[in-house]
Amino acid sequence: MRHPSVWMVSSVLTFMLVGCTTNEQAEPKEPTTQTPSNEDQPVVQPNDSESNPNMEEPDASQEEPVTEEPATTDEPVDEQPPTTLEPAPEPEPAPSEEPTDKAAPEAEGKIANLDLGTLVLVNKQIALPENYKPSDLVPAQIDFVSTASGERKMMRAEAARAIEALMLGAKADGMDLKGTSAFRSYAYQVQLFNAYVARDGKEQAMKYSAQPGHSEHQSGLAIDVSSASVNYQLTQSLGQTTEGKWLADHAHEYGFIIRYPRQFEAETGYMYEPWHLRYIGIEHAAKVRAANEPLDRYLEEYMK
């Protein structure tokens, strides 16, 4: 019995000594250490609290899988493997910059003119207000990939009706298309963009993903679609499929344009995205197609 007591006493003393020493030494360094540890905790949640629901959706993760072509995805290939997405991305611990808003940097403070309605211009220089969310979002009644859910299946009413008509027309022509991601909140885009930056670095991420506020998906007027022939992934090879060609030839009939054509990559700053449809109304979609110029330039001239 005594032995244990003695042993315990010395253990306690030892513990105390060690503890004191440790604490003293540690305090100073703590700051440094903490940062790193955060990274380990990958869970995305840090960024958006609300997004938990969204996170399930794979936007982020998808990309990895999808990848036939490097940076294809403007957003995330929602459709695919939902599982992976979130995990990897979260870690972003944004080192230096500010947490959420950082994204804005590139933009030079230009705010989108919402008075333009369905012609609102959102690009790398012009952003939607952080708190902007269309008041007329409604579910688009079309087939979506299984990983799409909630708000991501919604669009502004006029655009929702248009994509429904487009899908009916596509189906009538034998096309097999599904929506993968429509509306995206600012908060969701924050997660997504940060995840991409963590994975590929900011410079690369900028080529295929919009910074928060700069995504057309936040406008409720954009939707990503893909076909069974490419396993509903957001890949540039969609453009070579029957469905991709159909979209290029007929989207304008329903008021949509392929927003980021290959020939205007340098001008828009985005890689070719045959899956990203932007609604601007039938009249303007036909004009943009006929003019063969990016929406940015078309609107610049239209506004004069």
Give the binding site for Zn ion (CB under 5 A): 74-75, 224, 276
Q: Cβ of residue 122: shortest distance to Zn ion, in angstroms?
A: 11
Closer CB to Zn ion, residue 42 or residue 226? 226
For 70, the 3-state DSSP assignment is coil
- Supply the minimum distance, in Å, between the C-beta of residue 189 and Zn ion: 11
Q: Are 122 and 216 in contact (CB under 8 A)?
A: yes
Nearer to Zn ion, 42 or 62 (CB): 62
Residues 180, 78: contact at Cβ < 8 Å?
Answer: yes
Q: Which residue is nearest to Zn ion (CB)?
A: 276
Nearer to Zn ion, 215 or 241 (CB): 215
Instruction: Answer yes or no: are the C-beta atoms of 280 and 288 closer than 8 Å.
Output: yes
Residue 45 or 68: the one with the smaller Cβ distance to Zn ion is 68
Query: CA separation (Å) from 47 to 50, 180, 195, 252?
Result: 9, 23, 10, 37
Q: Give me the least distance between CB of 182 and Zn ion, in Å please.
A: 9
Q: Residue 152 corresponds to which tokens in the numbers above?
A: 């991501």
- Nearest-approach distance from CB 276 to Zn ion, in angstroms: 4
Question: Which CB sits closer to Zn ion, 64 or 74?
Answer: 74
Q: How many whole angstroms from its chain centre is CA 298?
A: 25
Provide the minimum distance between the beta carbon of 220 and Zn ion in the complex, in angstroms, as a whole number.
Answer: 12
Q: Which of 167, 172, 163 is nearest to 140 (CA)?
A: 163
Yes or no: say if 57 and 82 are a contact pair by the CB < 8 Å rule: yes
